[in-house]
Amino acid sequence: MLQKLVAPLLLLVSYSSTITAQDTQSSSRSSWPSCSARTQHLSDPPYQDYFYSDCHVDAQAVVTSPLPGSDLSIIKPRFLVAWPAGNSGVCTLFQPQSGKAGSLAIELVNSTLGAPLGPVYSKSKCKGSANPIVGVEGVLSFNDSAELPTAILGSVRNIRDFTEGGYLSPIIQAGINVTKFQKTGAQISRLWLDNVTTTTFTLVPWKNNHNHIQIDNTTLRFGAGLYRFSASFNYPQLTQLTPSQLLNEQSQSLAKQHQETVSSLSFFSYTEKLLAGGWRFLTYFGRDSMISALLLQPVLSSSAVEVVIGAALERVNRRDGSVSHEETIGDYATYVNLQNGIASTAAGFTYQMIDTDYYLPILMARYFNSSPNRITPLLDTKAGSINVDNLNLTWGDLSYATASKIMNITAAFEQNQTVDNLLTLKPGQNAGQWRDSPYGLANGRIPFDVNCALAPAALYAISSLAAKPSVYPNNSMTQTWAAIAAQRAKIWEDKTLQFFQYNMTTETAVARLAQYTSKSTFYDGPTNGDSVSNYSTDGMIIDYGLAINSPTTPEVIPITHTDTAFRHYLLNATDDEQLTTFINASANAILRPFPAGLSTPIGVVVANPALSNNNDFIGGFTNTAYHGTVVWSWQLALTAKGFERQLERCHGSSNVTDIPSSITNATAIPQFCSNNGVYTALKTAYNRLWDIIEDNSQQLESEVWSWTYSGGKNGTAKDFKFSPLGASGGTESDVRQLWSLTFLSVTRNKSFS
């Protein structure tokens, strides 16, 4: 209904010259010429996302407009522009002058300025800044009279502090300057804390002599109609990688076959770093970029993989070897420095995660195995261009620091396989791996993925790297690493899983499912208890907890999850008895439909507390929790690839292995392959998963999504409906996320059908 009110206004707009300004020719995308624009429109109601890149600027614009049925306490009219450069942006929050929630709709429409976005570019006149003023402009349509009381200009981090936490920083907002602009319009600007950069947002009536914008202190008021906006800033820009630079020789054709996906990947790929997702994470994230590079490695160019490895090395903490989780750049870096009493624009780096360290040697080993001639050029690179703290070091020095850290903290468990010697979250942190929301691990401190998959895989990788000349400095310590790390890896591979295993009889499981469905606030459908006996082991459900509570209270947290996929993907375990049980359990968790297992028609959920018999877990892991009974695209990719790798082992299809076979029998055919029940479960789970992935292909490139159920006790699959996570009160999802683009290289292997 709201949409219809807006539509007639479009007729007023002239489209005539828009096409020439835009490069909409697919053929020129793979190697774009000088300064033609690359644009993409993605509809993700109630969000509309527009991407714009040319040789001067890269921008993402997001229009939020309430729809019939939207939760109006969450979905409000909003217009936002985000730039990767400095992780910067503008967020404008509109409201209807009538005060009636839901009555104001906004839309970005095509115009002579762009279709719908056009470029802003001019040489800077600002004192002290050599950077040109760059940005985007276009025409916004308002169906009703509106006001703009709040604008946030500067860092996307300040915008997220508001959109995710309701916090408006007084220091940032105090800089907001609202003035008249071009007689009938208004300009909102803010000088950054660096005293050099200015972000500017202007709004002017478009092709209309009657409307004019009233300024009341810092609030703008204006009538229904069309308004030209411009959002710009003067800050150094990044250099985007073109599809042909991103993809390896064999994969160039993907740029045409999957034009939209490759275009998104390109938007996230720059010579300095890959970005995690848009609009919320247009910046470096170690885990996201390294997982993406691992899964995408079959299609990525060497330069793209080196960008990821280099970005991680550059940001390593030289003192303890930790790999950075996230960088703090742009205005937010100055803001954080100011909070610490320092007047400086220097970037900051966070190290609170414990998983990120391990991805680095794993990725380096995979890359250097295939490109040994790149070891020296890459590791000789001088550090410090981004992280000034690392001046005077090389990337090789930093790689050594990380390996040394991993060797140090994994040593104790080799000596003594106790729960005390497992890897725990850092003190004072309630997150440390990819489930990094406050309750993502149900307060557990010893995560499954880090202990059962990442640590052993990283140790094998260090062993393989140490065996190559010139990766690590040659000293008495590193001389023994090739052998020690491999031996230790085997112990971590074989002796960690048992700590996370738990079980219950099928009767107990069925009883818990009945309780769960009666308590759940969002699911009142069938328990699917019958699947419990079909997909179990000798009358037992065997499963592996999401985490262990803590070294002093070492209870397993009995939440079913998809992190088992890390182990399938990263390790070719050789303890046959353990492997057979583990493969059976993780395949069964996919084969059992929710709530008995992880599969819903809308996707495989990343966590399910239904069998936990624990009200805190059930209350904390819902369909609105960021890491609850919700679907993450990249976890689908990881699970698919993990199952595929294990299936491949049964067919001796490959001698390719990252693990030195002198240490393991990883190239031998494992016993589960000849266990008909377990092999069939794995193959069936692989195909069930791919059916679900294909059924949800519309969502696959977004970050995370949720679902609703409305079928009651006798409901069926058709009663599950897709629901955006942000629209139902959870965290707003990114419309595109780097690691959700990994389906470019993760595809269904038909030989396992």
Ligand X SMILES: *[C@@H]1O[C@H](CO)[C@@H](O)[C@H](O)[C@H]1NC(C)=O
Positions touching ligand X (CB under 6 A) are 18-19, 24, 110, 115, 177, 179, 189, 191, 193-195, 217-218, 320-321, 334, 343, 345, 391-392, 401, 404-405, 408, 415-416, 418, 420, 503, 540, 542, 570-572, 574, 645, 648-649, 652, 654-659, 664-666, 712-714
CB closer to ligand X out of 173 and 684: 173
Q: Can you spell out the DSSP letters for 59-116?
A: EEEEEE---TT--TTT---EEEEEETGGGEEEEEEEEETT--TT---EEEE-BTTBSS
CB closer to ligand X out of 139 and 307: 139
**Least distance in angstroms from the C-beta of 362 to ligand X:** 9
Residue 475 CB: number of other CB atoms within 10 A?
10
CA distances 99 to 61, 78, 94, 694, Å, are 25, 15, 11, 43
**Least distance in angstroms from the C-beta of 70 to ligand X:** 21
CB closer to ligand X out of 272 and 658: 658
**Least distance in angstroms from the C-beta of 727 to ligand X:** 23
Query: In angstroms, how far is the first alpha carbon of the chain from the final one?
Result: 45
Half-sphere exposure of 633 (CA within 13 A, CB side): 31
**Least distance in angstroms from the C-beta of 228 to ligand X:** 16
CB closer to ligand X out of 151 and 275: 151
Residue type, position 72, single letter: L
**Least distance in angstroms from the C-beta of 71 to ligand X:** 27
Beta bridge partners of 227: 140, 205
Cα–Cα dist 473/488, whole Å:
21
CB closer to ligand X out of 40 and 242: 40
**Least distance in angstroms from the C-beta of 626 to ligand X:** 29
**Least distance in angstroms from the C-beta of 483 to ligand X:** 13
CB closer to ligand X out of 275 and 365: 365
CB closer to ligand X out of 297 and 622: 297
CB closer to ligand X out of 195 and 751: 195
Check residue 656 and report its DSSP letter.
-
3-state secondary structure 569-623: HHCCCCCHHHHHHHHHHHHHHHHCECCCCCEECCEECCEECCCCCCHHHHHHCCC
Burial 705-739 (b: 16+ CB within 10 A, else e): bbbebebeeeeeeebbeebbbbbbebbbbbbbbbb
Cα–Cα dist 218/226, whole Å:
21
CB closer to ligand X out of 345 and 352: 345
**Least distance in angstroms from the C-beta of 404 to ligand X:** 4
Write out the two tokens for 426: 């850092």
Q: Can you spell out the DSSP letters for 695-740?
A: HTTTTTTSSEEEEEE---TT--GGGEEEE-TGGGTSPPPPSEEGGG
**Least distance in angstroms from the C-beta of 409 to ligand X:** 8
CB closer to ligand X out of 45 and 712: 712
**Least distance in angstroms from the C-beta of 280 to ligand X:** 25
Is 474 exposed, middle or buried (CB count within 10 Å of its CB: 0-12, 13-18, 19+)? exposed
